[in-house]
Chain A
Amino acid sequence: MNERRAARAAKILLAFLPLAAVAGCASSPDRPFQDLARAEASIEQADQSGAREFGADELDAAKAKLVKARAAADSNDNLVASRYAKEAALDAELAMAMARTRKSELAVEEVNKGIETLREEIARNQARSGERQ
């Protein structure tokens, strides 16, 4: 990077500083690649682990925030982008956790139902062998 281009870049940065500052009261960081990547990964994982069924609201919120995060990053509003991305990741993780909980609870119900069925069967068998005696 030569001196002149550096100067120009500095000027542009200076020009956009107020905008970024309004959003975050801080200097503008780089595009939040890591935050965006984590949000994307979490959303995909949540999508695949039944969150669409058991944590639909949270998953939708995560997706909406990822869209906002990308848009903010595209307009170099990187602090805002980072916040949206971080929130999106947590929304997706919550959706996933809810799906896991609900699945476990369903499994518990299933097992309990199985036990109930077994007990009824045993009772029937005992009644039958009682009749036979």
Chain B
Amino acid sequence: MMERMVRGQKLRLAAVAGMALVAAACTTTPERVAELDEARATVESLERQPKARATASTQLANARQALQRAEAALEQGEPLELIEHEAYMARRHAEIGLEMTSEAEAAEALRQGEARRNQVQLEARTAEAERAERLAEQRASQAERSARQAVASQSVAEAAIGEANRLADELEAEQTNRGLVLTLGDVLFDTGGAELKAGAEVSLDRLAAFLNENPERRLLIEGHTDSRGSDEFNEGLSEDRADSVAEALVERGIATERLRSVGLGESYPVASNDSTAGMQQNRRVEIVVSNDDGTFPESAEERAIATRD
């Protein structure tokens, strides 16, 4: 019991000494505290942020309160640790507030950026669609052009056919693979002879008129016979008949160089030589009309040259 009393007294003594120490500690507060200066500056910079009130009002209020506590503690000569703690808290609240305003700005920038990206994406898609449309238009107009060309070439072909038909009609000629061919039948010649009968004149007049109208065109005059008689005779006769047609045309004013006559003999029958009617059909003169540039279709040329050899 005595011992406890002694210890109690000792403790009380220590406590009193401690109190004295406390008083000493509290009066050593300096006039300037670096931590407090920093806190003031940070809180001020938060206050200067226009968006602080909207985005960090709690942090701003907390910072101001802590700063006031720090200032009050300094004024009232409170211990440095308390001042520094409150100043630190004030600074941290303000720093958090500043981060929040930065974050709000970044979020706003993000929103704008996303809107812009969507806009650009839309533009890209529109541009792509326009490009595709333009491409389609190009293809369509190309198709149209080819269609028009097809129609045009068809009409050229039709015109050519029309012209050929007109010539055929005019000359009472026939369209063959050798070109336009006019046939003067056997009845226009004396039997076994090369003299043209008067009946041939209508055809020859018409032919001469045609050649005068179409100065570029030339004639290939082929003489043909039936299979009776020798080859030499037949060739001679066919040549003579072709020549007399050519001469008749020269008499009608056609230049000799526009006329070519060949005797093809019995080589190209158009009917069977077994009947009188067939033989009569084979005895004939065929007049091939050149193209309008003066050349003959290849098949006509081949026949004329082959026989000449």
Contact = CB atoms under 8 A, between A and B. Distances in A.
Interface of A: 11, 14-15, 17-19, 21-25, 83, 86-87, 90-91, 93-94, 97-98, 100-101, 104-105, 107-108, 111-112, 114-115, 118-119, 121-122, 125-126, 129, 132-133
A23 B131 contact: no
Given A87-B89, A108-B109, A18 B116 contact: no
A66 to B, nearest CB: 15
B117 A118 contact: yes
B103 A118 contact: no
Contact of B11 (A14, A108, A114): A14
Given A15-B11, A18-B15, A90-B89, 14 more contacts: A22-B21, A24-B81, A25-B22, A87-B88, A93-B92, A94-B95, A111-B117, A115-B120, A118-B124, A119-B120, A122-B124, A125-B124, A126-B131, A132-B135
B60 to A, nearest CB: 14
Contacts of A25: 22, 25-26, 78-79, 82
A18 B96 CA distance: 36
Contact of A22 (B18, B95, B123, B124): B18
A10 B266 CA distance: 156
A11 B8 contact: yes
Contacts of A93: 92, 96
Interface string B62-83: 0000000000000000110110
Contacts, number: 114
Contacts of B18: 17-19, 21-22
Interface residues of B, number: 45
Contacts of A132: 135
Contacts of A125: 124, 127-128, 131
26 contacts: A11-B8, A18-B14, A18-B17, A21-B18, A21-B21, A22-B18, A22-B22, A24-B79, A94-B95, A94-B99, A97-B96, A97-B100, A100-B99, A101-B99, A101-B100, A101-B103, A104-B107, A108-B109, A108-B110, A108-B113, A111-B117, A115-B116, A118-B124, A122-B127, A129-B131, A129-B135
A36 B18 CA distance: 28
A122 B79 contact: no
Given A18-B15, A24-B81, A25-B82, A94 B107 contact: no
A90 B96 contact: yes
Nearest to A12: B11
A118 B119 CA distance: 11
Closest 8 pairs (CB-CB, A-B)? A18-B18, A104-B106, A97-B99, A111-B113, A90-B92, A101-B103, A21-B22, A129-B131
Given A104-B106, A108-B113, A118-B121, A11 B11 contact: yes
A115 to B, nearest CB: 5
A83 B14 CA distance: 26
Nearest to A132: B135
A17 B19 CA distance: 8
Nearest to A97: B99
A94 B46 CA distance: 14
A125 B127 CA distance: 9
A14 B15 contact: yes
Contacts of A90: 89, 92-93, 96
Contacts of A15: 11, 14-15
Contacts of A105: 102, 106
Contact of A23 (B81, B88, B114): B81
A108 B95 CA distance: 22
A107 B93 CA distance: 25
A108 B124 CA distance: 21
